[in-house]
């Protein structure tokens, strides 16, 4: 959070230790106890794992990049706090006042936010020159733009007014408890709600485009005027393409590849859900035409996908480790959290002196694992590589935009 006011106070480690000790005595109702007041303190990157801060006053505190794993923050006041990129795994926020909190890039896996107040909120501070100014959480380089909320408990949380404390687009919310929660007008495009509990949740006017609702019973949720465009539900048991089972179609395609076109037939299809096949591990699918198809969460390790047209395909959370994607067309593909370790994304030789480059223009690769991948000469124009792991990746000659 930034504003044109005096610099934030910085509490040294000894001072912070004394505050925590006094607060511990306060919680235990022992002599010498004093409720912690950390309002507007700069605790950037502080190590507070397991800290007991229930009922503490922490309005406007700066905790971006801090580690609070397993901390107890029941009933804490975090109004307008900055928690960007913080490690909040397993933190208990039960009943916390989190209005206006910024959680971009924070990891809230298995955190408990039951009955927390997550509505919009703003802080106005006064300085002698400019009068009252509104504090804002300015976006900075490296911000992920979304929080990880795998297994987070949000039952009974107040999250009305669009849940503006954080952008929930593409957020991991598998198994999240949203019973009775208010998500009126929430922006949840691409969010993974696999196995979520939404009994009596109010999602009136929410945007859930491309959201994953596999195993979610929305029968008792209020989805009036919600945008459910391209929502991903459970896979069908069997998929047919022009009255031919998808499994047979791929078997014919493999014969076509193995015989150099003498047998079988090349697979050409539009938007197809491949999840009914469960896995395509080490299958030979070279040259397959399957734009906008769904491979969400599938195992494609070692698959031969050279020269495939997979533009707009959904590979979110898929295992593509060691796959051969040379010359593949992956424009506009969704590859969030995909495992691409050791994957070959280099150019494909199609004739003497002629190469077909792998095209990932506008592809979304947030949090994708590209370690040790080969991506020489690949096109990443307008691609989203936020949080992607690139250690050891060969990007020589790749078209990148920063």
In this structure, are residues 288 and 323 in contact, taking their beta carbons and an 8 Å threshold?
no
For residue 194, tell me if it sits in a domain: no
For residue 190, tell me if it sits in a domain: no
The per-residue pLDDT for 177 is 77
Strands 124-127 and 244-245: unpaired
What are the beta bridge partners of residue 2?
Answer: 136
Of the candidates 142, 167, 192, which is a domain's last residue? 167
Q: Which two tokens stand for residue 84?
A: 């960007």
Name the domain count of the chain: 2
Of the candidates 167, 198, 219, which is a domain's last residue? 167
For residue 200, tell me if it sits in a domain: no
For residue 207, tell me if it sits in a domain: no
Phi, psi of 356 (to 5 degrees): -110, 120
For residue 192, tell me if it sits in a domain: no
- pLDDT tens by residue, the chain, 402 residues: 444 444 555 678 899 999 999 999 999 999 999 999 999 999 999 999 999 999 999 999 999 899 999 999 999 999 989 998 899 999 999 999 998 888 877 888 888 988 888 876 555 444 444 443 434 445 443 333 467 777 777 777 776 444 543 456 777 788 887 878 778 888 788 888 888 888 888 889 989 999 999 999 999 999 999 999 999 998 989 999 999 999 999 999 999 999 999 999 999 998 999 999 989 999 999 999 999 999 999 999 999 999 999 999 999 999 999 999 999 999 999 998 899 999 999 999 999 889 999 999 999 998 899 999 999 999 999 999 987 899 999 999 999 875
- Using CA atoms, how far residue 76 sits from 34, 72, 205, 372, in Å, is 14, 9, 30, 43
The per-residue pLDDT for 159 is 65
Of the candidates 126, 149, 167, which is a domain's last residue? 167
Which residue range forms the structural domain that includes residue 300? 235-402
Q: Are residues 280 and 396 in the same domain?
A: yes
Q: Are residues 264 and 390 in the same domain?
A: yes
Strands 354-356 and 124-127: unpaired
In the chain, the largest separation of any two C-alpha atoms, in whole Å, equals 87
pTM of the model: 0.73
For residue 186, tell me if it sits in a domain: no
């Amino acid at each position: 959070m930034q504003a044109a006011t005096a610099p934030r106070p910085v509490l040294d480690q000894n001072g912070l230790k004394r505050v925590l000790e006094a607060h511990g005595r306060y919680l235990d109702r022992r002599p010498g106890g004093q409720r912690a007041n950390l309002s507007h303190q700069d605790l950037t990157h502080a190590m507070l794992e397991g800290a007991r801060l229930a009922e503490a006053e922490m309005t406007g505190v700066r905790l971006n990049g801090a580690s609070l794993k397993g901390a107890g923050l029941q009933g804490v006041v975090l109004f307008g706090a900055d928690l960007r990129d913080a490690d909040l795994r397993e933190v208990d926020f039960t009943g916390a006042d989190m209005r206006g909190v910024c959680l971009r890039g924070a990891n809230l896996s298995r955190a408990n936010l039951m009955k927390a107040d997550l509505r919009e909120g703003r802080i106005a501070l006064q300085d002698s020159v400019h009068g009252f100014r509104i504090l804002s959480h300015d976006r900075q380089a490296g911000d992920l733009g979304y929080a990880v909320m795998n297994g987070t408990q949000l039952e009974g949380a107040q999250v009305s007014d669009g849940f503006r404390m954080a952008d929930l687009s593409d957020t991991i919310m598998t198994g999240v408890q949203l019973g009775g929660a208010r998500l009126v007008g929430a922006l949840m495009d691409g969010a993974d709600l696999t196995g979520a509990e939404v009994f009596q949740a109010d999602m009136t006017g929410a945007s859930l485009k491309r959201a994953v609702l596999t195993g979610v019973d929305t029968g008792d949720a209020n989805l009036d005027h919600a945008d459910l465009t391209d929502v991903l539900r459970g896979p069908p048991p069997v998929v047919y393409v022009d009255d031919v089972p998808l499994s047979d179609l791929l078997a014919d395609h493999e014969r076509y590849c193995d015989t150099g076109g003498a047998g079988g037939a090349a697979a050409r299809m539009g938007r197809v859900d491949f999840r009914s096949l469960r896995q395509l591990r080490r299958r030979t699918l070279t040259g397959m035409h399957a734009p906008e198809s769904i491979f969400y969460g599938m195992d494609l390790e070692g698959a031969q996908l050279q020269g495939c047209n997979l533009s707009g395909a959904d590979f979110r959370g898929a295992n593509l480790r060691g796959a051969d994607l040379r010359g593949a067309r992956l424009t506009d593909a969704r590859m969030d959290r995909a495992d691409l370790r050791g994957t070959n994304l280099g150019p494909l030789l199609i004739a003497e002196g002629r190469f077909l480059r792998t095209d990932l223009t506008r592809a979304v690769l947030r949090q994708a694992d590209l370690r040790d991948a080969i991506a020489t000469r690949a096109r990443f124009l307008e691609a989203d590589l936020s949080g992607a792991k690139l250690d050891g990746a060969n990007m020589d000659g790749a078209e990148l935009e920063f």
